[in-house]
Amino acid sequence: MDPHITEWLNLAIRWVHMITGVAWIGASFYFVWLENHLDRRNPREGLSGDLWAIHGGGIYHLEKYKLAPPKMPEQLHWFKWEAYATWMTGILLLAVVYYLNAELFLIAPGSDLSPTTAIAIGVATLVAGWFIYDLLCDSPLGKQPALLGAVLFVLIIAAAWGLSQVFSGRGAFIHVGALIGTIMVGNVFRVIMPAQRALVAAIEAGKEPDPALPAKGLLRSRHNNYFTLPVLFIMISNHFPSTYGNEFNWAVLAGLAVLSVLVRHYFNTRHASQNFAWTIPVAALGMVCLAFITSPAKTDSEAMTQEVTIQQVQEIITERCTSCHSANPTSTMFTSAPAGVILDNASQIKTLAPKIYLQTVASKTMPLGNMTQMTQQERDLIGVWISQNKSE
């Protein structure tokens, strides 16, 4: 497809994806907050609590019923389209960015996987992921939430590891994000909404609602709550090559997931107690540790003895990068320099040296998909040139 058209498709879908995602997660955070802050001391008859709030210049009074008001209101607001729209735009975006240009963004550089097979693996991961998750929740394991949580964590990280064997780092990360996102929307569509519909139907029919219904939705809601922060990281992870570009990218992802789940736990419990306040400094310390662990290895000192000139570097860049990163790219996949990075002359290369280092030496995320077959020697040479010019 014409790269200009895919860029605008990407823009339009990504924008809607972000808007609906903000609406979904925003509403979800708000209702968790609401639930945690209800004043339950002296509830009116039939209520479990209430809450006063001020926002946008108005004062609000919210009341939560133990089950339902004596007569159902004419208009009851449901929250589902935010979730469905986020998922649908997410899948479209996955297709436009990763599936239309599978060789560039999805397939591991150097792998001989065909685009069709790679896409099939991606889609199968999402479908199988949902069914395995759903079965596990409905199995006896569902009665032991902590154990179930641990099993899910291990399975998701195993999926991250497996995907990183066949996909590029970015491709693997985005599929883990899409997998978790699919589970979250599946929970809304297949469990939470049906449970709520059954509850409302029972009340309207004047029947005693099945007490198992809210409990069923609760486990899934709780999962969704803890999934949000890891998913949000994954969605912005393509800006951070030291995460997805790391040799052990799946372990880096596991580390970030643990830290973010801890932080979410603090926010879920902080109203009741400050017992988990330690998670905040621990998460911050964990981030520092991860930054340290992922820091690139020093260029070895033997190689340092050779003098590398800018001419040598420019030759490499011209051969391996400027088909895309030029004021006039020759690659048919780009009509303008990707990410605005233009490497046509020595002064542009010097200015962008730190970024070039991050993308090609510290992580091997550029050339994208290693389409231009850059060699390890060339990466080392650029690394030496950069470290020599740093010490000057």
Please say which residue, 304 or 371, places its beta carbon nearer to ligand HEC. 371
Query: How many other C-beta atoms lie within 10 A of the C-beta of residue 26?
Result: 11
Please say which residue, 303 or 352, places its beta carbon nearer to ligand HEC. 352
The rounded distance, in Å, linking the Cα atoms of 32 and 222 is 10
Short-list 332, 369, 339, 373, CA closest to 356? 339
Residue 220 in the binding site for ligand HEC (CB under 6 A):
no
Site for ligand HEC in 96-115 (CB under 6 A): 104
Please say which residue, 28 or 370, places its beta carbon nearer to ligand HEC. 370
- 102 within 8 A of 118, measured Cβ to Cβ: yes
Residue 356 in the binding site for ligand HEC (CB under 6 A):
yes
Among 324, 361, 384, 386, binds ligand HEC (CB under 6 A): 324
Please say which residue, 168 or 196, places its beta carbon nearer to ligand HEC. 168
Residue 321 in the binding site for ligand HEC (CB under 6 A):
yes
CB of 226 to ligand HEC, least distance (A): 28
Residue 341 in the binding site for ligand HEC (CB under 6 A):
yes
Residue 234 in the binding site for ligand HEC (CB under 6 A):
no
The alpha carbon torsion through 332, 336, 341, 347 (nearest 10 deg) reads 100
C-alpha 31: how far from its chain's center? 22
Q: Which stretch binds ligand HEC (CB under 6 A): 1-9, 156-164, 187-195, 358-366?
A: 358-366
Short-list 254, 253, 312, 263, CA closest to 283? 263
The rounded distance, in Å, linking the Cα atoms of 172 and 179 is 10
CB of 146 to ligand HEC, least distance (A): 38
For 61-92, letters b (16+ CB in 10 Å) and e give eeeeeeebeeeeeeeeeebeebbebbbbbbbb
- 253 within 8 A of 157, measured Cβ to Cβ: yes
Residue 348 in the binding site for ligand HEC (CB under 6 A):
no
Please say which residue, 220 or 325, places its beta carbon nearer to ligand HEC. 325
- 118 within 8 A of 106, measured Cβ to Cβ: yes
CB of 140 to ligand HEC, least distance (A): 44
Query: How many other C-beta atoms lie within 10 A of the C-beta of residue 179?
Result: 25
Among 126, 325, 361, 362, binds ligand HEC (CB under 6 A): 325
Q: Which stretch binds ligand HEC (CB under 6 A): 70-78, 115-123, 288-296, 348-356?
A: 348-356
Please say which residue, 230 or 367, places its beta carbon nearer to ligand HEC. 367
- 357 within 8 A of 380, measured Cβ to Cβ: no
Residues of the shown chain interacting with ligand HEC in the complex, contacts defined by CB under 6 A: 104, 238, 317, 320-321, 323-325, 331, 338-339, 341, 352, 355-356, 359-360, 366-368, 371-372, 374
